[in-house]
Amino acid sequence: MKKKILLTIGSIIVILFAAGAGYVWWMYHSVASTAGDMYETSAGKGNHKAVTNKKPISLLLLGVDERQGDHGRSDTMIATTLNPNTKTMQMISIPRDTRTEIVGRGTYDKINAAYAYGGTKMAESTAEKFLGDIPFDFYIKINMEGMRDLVDAVGGVTVNNKLDWHDEGYYKKGYHYAKGQINLDTGAKAMGYVRMRHLDPQGDFGRNERQREVIMAIVNKMANVSSVTRYSQILDALGDNVKTNLTFDDMKNLAFNYRDARENMINYEVKGNGQMVNGVYYLVVDSAEQQRVHDMINEQLGNN
């Protein structure tokens, strides 16, 4: 009887081990497959050596509003740095109405027009020029509809709402976004939260702050997901909506060597003055502010 019990227990252990190994293989294969779907090099191949050597890196996060038959513009542009040595992540938002030179066209326009004119490559080149010729090691482009899918995939996110307002129709007309800590339990509700700007005294600045908040809430929620179902949904959402020149190996290195960068967050919004130029509204950023932002990024990259 004891021998039978031991054999039974041994069989269960073998089965559990095999199932675990199969699960690990499935996860690895699924993540690798999704990384392959996301990978592209429309704005360059990226600085893979920097990630391998655990150097501080810079990434351009682009949130684009692409729809069927519409190339769209980059409504969200965030210059991000990750420093594994200081365990710091810095996110600097560049407002979409910022007036700057559009690299490759030789004209001045709103910075979000660069993507409409020349895709990711022109958007990245224009942002680099605006920031004082600081190159980006990588870019990550997400269709803003993808944010909806990601919030649904992680099961909703919690944010600290600084305003009290009723939705104009981005989510559900009249829906009450109460001030204080609120749970955005669906992607549709989250999109209503990040798209509102007319009722915000800070306009685009307030909207950009909410976008950064939701992005970080998604990242933090993803880091704590343990459900197989959630993993599948997250991978589907990423594969359908995100494009990047980070390879699968880069992502593995980031996951293991840069994860502590979330311990210290620095958020900043490029500042300027709203002006009408030839009948068009722009945010005009002076040279002192551009230099300030340039120095902030350089400091995080260890170049000062």
Over residues 59-100, the pLDDT tens digits come to 999 988 776 655 667 778 999 999 999 999 999 999 999 999
For residue 245, give the 3-state DSSP assignment. Answer: coil
Mark whether 25 and 77 lie in a shared domain.
no
Question: What tokens does 291 get?
Answer: 């230099």
Angle ∠(258,119,130) on CA atoms, nearest 5: 65
The yes-or-no verdict on residue 230 having pLDDT over 80 is: no
CATH number at residue 86: 3.40.630.190
What range defines the domain where residue 9 resides?
1-38
The yes-or-no verdict on residue 203 having pLDDT over 90 is: no
Q: How many CB atoms lie within 10 A of CB 169?
A: 11
pTM of the model: 0.82
What does DSSP assign to residue 170? S
Mark whether 34 and 49 lie in a shared domain.
no
For residue 183, give the 3-state DSSP assignment. Answer: strand
Mark whether 122 and 28 lie in a shared domain.
no
Mark whether 147 and 60 lie in a shared domain.
yes
The mean per-residue pLDDT over the stretch 191-215 comes to 86
Q: What mean pLDDT is reported for the chain?
A: 85
Question: What is the per-residue pLDDT for 263?
Answer: 80
Mark whether 10 and 120 lie in a shared domain.
no
Report d(CA 130, CA 124) in Å as an integer: 10
Identity at 36, one-letter amino acid code: G
Question: What tokens does 277 get?
Answer: 């130029």
Mark whether 177 and 92 lie in a shared domain.
yes
Query: Do residues 250 and 189 lie in contact, with contact meaning Cβ atoms separated by under 8 Å?
Result: no
Question: What is the per-residue pLDDT for 27?
Answer: 61
In 43-98, the DSSP E strands lie at 57-64, 74-83, 88-93
Burial zone of 94 (CB within 10 Å; 0-12 exposed, 13-18 middle, 19+ buried): buried
Question: What tokens does 96 get?
Answer: 């979409």
Number of domains in the chain: 2
Mark whether 12 and 55 lie in a shared domain.
no
Query: Do residues 268 and 94 lie in contact, with contact meaning Cβ atoms separated by under 8 Å?
Result: no
User: From residue 112, how far is each of 96, 137, 150, 197, 231 by CA, in Å?
Assistant: 5, 20, 23, 17, 32
Beta bridge partners of 89: 82, 265
Query: Pairing relation of β-strands 180-184 and 242-244?
Result: unpaired
Report d(CA 20, CA 23) in Å as an integer: 5
Angle ∠(256,259,264) on CA atoms, nearest 5: 155
Mark whether 214 and 107 lie in a shared domain.
yes
Mark whether 122 and 180 lie in a shared domain.
yes
Mark whether 161 and 248 lie in a shared domain.
yes
Mark whether 191 and 225 lie in a shared domain.
yes
Higher pLDDT, 207 or 300: 300
What are the residue ranges of helices labelled H in the chain?
2-38, 48-52, 113-130, 144-154, 187-195, 204-223, 228-241, 248-257, 287-300
pLDDT digits (tens, 9 = 90+) for 5-26: 555 555 544 444 555 555 455 5
Mark whether 20 and 68 lie in a shared domain.
no
Report d(CA 235, CA 233) in Å as an integer: 5
Question: What is the per-residue pLDDT for 69?
Answer: 58
